[in-house]
Amino acid sequence: MAGPGALLRQCPLLLPQNREGTAYEGFVTAQGRDFHIRILLPMDFQLKNARIECSWHLKKLLHGYRHILKQRLHSCPDLVSFMVELKTLLEIALKNTQDLHIPRPPEYYSCLVRDLEMLGWNRVTYVDTSLATIKLEAEDSCGRQHLITLKLNAKYPTEPPDCLVDFPVRFAISWMPQNSLIDIYHQFLAALESLKEFWDTMDEIDGKTWVLEPENPTRSATTRRIAIGNNVSVNVEVDPRHPKMFPECYFLGADHVVNPLRIKLNNNMHLWDPEISLLQNLKDLLEIDFPSRAVLEKNDFAKDCGICYAYRLDGTTPNQVCDDPRCGQPFHQACLYEWLQGLPSSRQSSNVIFGECPYCNKVRKSNDNE
């Protein structure tokens, strides 16, 4: 997670409200205007489970961008990155709001209709009544369907439209006043092909393993939490620009199970072969086969939390497991931390708390921001 200094530079008016760094309140600034906002992060700092509260004016401005904000919460690695994305979206929203009140010249409409006819109406999935928002669809070489949303201002085509896509990387277009929607569409197609290997990699993972999180991944999502066995999983972060290179891996589960996996991964790292798929490399290095969708059901290894008796809590799944091989009970990190805090026999050192497992009484620890 980026440090507080980076956040202060991006949003000097957004201040932490507690020592843990899970609550921020203040203002986000765009086009010289300040908008009140409050951000509440879960104890594990996972942005996808953050809660955002804002003024009615900011909520109204961002109303049409909610799905994009949700995608960014899932894909941004830290709060600083998300705030940069939020400010960019806010700039776009403010500009488009202002554009609604600018009368569009007749040549705007004639130019736009001409562009759409040249592009082909079969590629258009949506046009709003003011002809200011257009959605186009495209199919990549593997048959995957993709959408691009264009927000046009009154100065089109002198100025390019804002382009919103479900990509794991930034999509920047090259534009000249003589360009048209066809040029954007061709750049969109080229960008789709540049990400083909990344999506191939993620589709193979989604199709051949049990992905615990995210449940419904967007095309911009770069992480997958893959089930390995009972209450054991690996979180894989894939580089969209180099999807066949060694990814960041983080194991979740009891120490006696995940430690041997970590050792195998470290010892076999030199065997990584960029000529074969990422999934096959993981199998070879870990010397395992991931649970198959054809053989097992998801509930064969996705067990409920032993404290709240639910599998999903505020968007998170059980990611803490008792280390005792005879127990192996999973818990949500937040549930376990709260349970240990309530035990008179528990002891705390810094932000780590030690106490007894609710099931087998083995001493275990929990971190309030794991």
Q: pLDDT tens, 118-141? A: 999 999 999 988 888 899 999 999
Which region among 229-238, 268-277, 325-334 has the lowest average model confidence (pLDDT)? Answer: 325-334
Confidence band of 44 (pLDDT split at 50, 70, 90)? confident
- CA-CA-CA-CA torsion sign (138, 140, 145, 149): negative
- Interval 300-316 mean pLDDT: 72
Look at residues 194, 219, 249 and tell me which one is the last residue of a structural domain.
Answer: 194
- Interval 248-260 mean pLDDT: 84
More confident residue, 325 or 161: 161
Tally of domains within the chain = 4
Which region among 106-110, 177-181, 195-199 has the lowest average model confidence (pLDDT)? Answer: 106-110
Q: Tell me how many helices (H) and strands (E) the chain has.
A: 10, 17
User: Mean pLDDT of all residues in the chain?
Assistant: 85
- Tell me if 71 is assigned to some domain: yes
Kind plus residue range of the DSSP H or E element containing 26: strand 23-30
Look at residues 194, 218, 238 and tell me which one is the last residue of a structural domain.
Answer: 194
Q: How far apart are CA 339 and CA 358, in angstroms?
A: 8
- Interval 207-224 mean pLDDT: 89
Rounded to two decimals, the pTM is 0.64
Q: How far apart are CA 316 and CA 334, in angstroms?
A: 9
Q: What is the pLDDT of residue 370?
A: 46
Mark whether 182 and 117 lie in a shared domain: yes
**163: amino acid identity, one letter:** C
User: Which range, 1-15, 45-59, 291-305, 337-351, is most confident?
Assistant: 45-59
**Residue 327 is encoded by which pair of tokens?**
């127990």
Give the CATH number of the domain where residue 363 resides: 3.30.40.10
Residue 59's CB is within 10 A of a number of other CB atoms, namely 14
Mark whether 84 and 132 lie in a shared domain: no
Mark whether 189 and 219 lie in a shared domain: no
Confidence band of 1 (pLDDT split at 50, 70, 90)? very low
**Partners of 35 in the β-ladder:** 28
**Partners of 232 in the β-ladder:** 229
**Residue 220 is encoded by which pair of tokens?**
């911009």
List alpha helices for 11-156, DSSP H.
Answer: 56-61, 66-75, 79-100, 106-119
- Interval 212-222 mean pLDDT: 87
Give the CATH number of the domain where residue 113 resides: 3.10.110.10
For residue 52, give its domain range: 4-100
Cα–Cα nearest to 159, from 176, 183, 181: 176
- Interval 315-325 mean pLDDT: 76
Residue % of the chain over a pLDDT of 90:
35
- Tell me if 21 is assigned to some domain: yes
Mark whether 123 and 92 lie in a shared domain: no
Q: What is the pLDDT of residue 34?
A: 84
Cα–Cα nearest to 170, from 134, 217, 220, 214: 220
